[in-house]
Amino acid sequence: MAFAIKVNGTTHSIDVDGDTPLLWVLRDVLGMTGTKFGCGKALCGACTVHIDGVAARSCVAPIDSVGTAEITTIEAIGATPVGGKIQKAWLDREVVQCGYCQSGQIMSASALLASNPHPTDSDIDAAMSGNICRCGTYLRIREAIKQAAR
């Protein structure tokens, strides 16, 4: 079935089954491999993108639910004011270890700061609680979000 989806400001025509997860469309059809597959069950956050500015798990978002929504991925988040600040803070704080979870972490953190420019520790913990990091970078993530918020 044909769909037209808008990703990072560009409209793409794709032909996939309607229940195909957005994650597979991004990675396998459009070749945007910055968004990662972790669990496939909305449990780890590795696949987080923005759908109309809201952090969403692309592994459980069927393509026929996306409609005309604006999708933003890790490939473009650095071009947004908040995303640029988050990525700079990530580098300054040397947040990344293996890196596998980090595109999802950055997408969740960017959505948080876009909606709440001065989050408290509990705001940060609540917003980031669905993003799992096997390398345990949680403390540096929190510090980087605070830096980006200053």
Contact residues toward ligand FES (CB under 6 A) are 37-40, 42-47, 57, 59, 96-102, 133-135, 137
Q: Give me the sign of the Cα torsion angle 52, 55, 57, 58.
A: positive
C-beta of 35: minimal distance to ligand FES in Å? 9
Burial 40-79 (b: 16+ CB within 10 A, else e): eebebbbbbbbbeeebbbbbbbebeebeebebbbbbbbee
The number of residues in the chain equals 150
* Residue 24 or 119 having the CB closest to ligand FES: 24
* Residue 87 or 137 having the CB closest to ligand FES: 137
C-beta of 64: minimal distance to ligand FES in Å? 18
In single-letter form, the type of residue at position 92 comes to D
C-beta of 125: minimal distance to ligand FES in Å? 16
67/150 Cα distance (integer angstroms):
36
* Residue 25 or 133 having the CB closest to ligand FES: 133
Q: Mutual orientation of helices 138-149 and 102-115 as an angle, nearest 10°? A: 40
* Residue 21 or 81 having the CB closest to ligand FES: 21
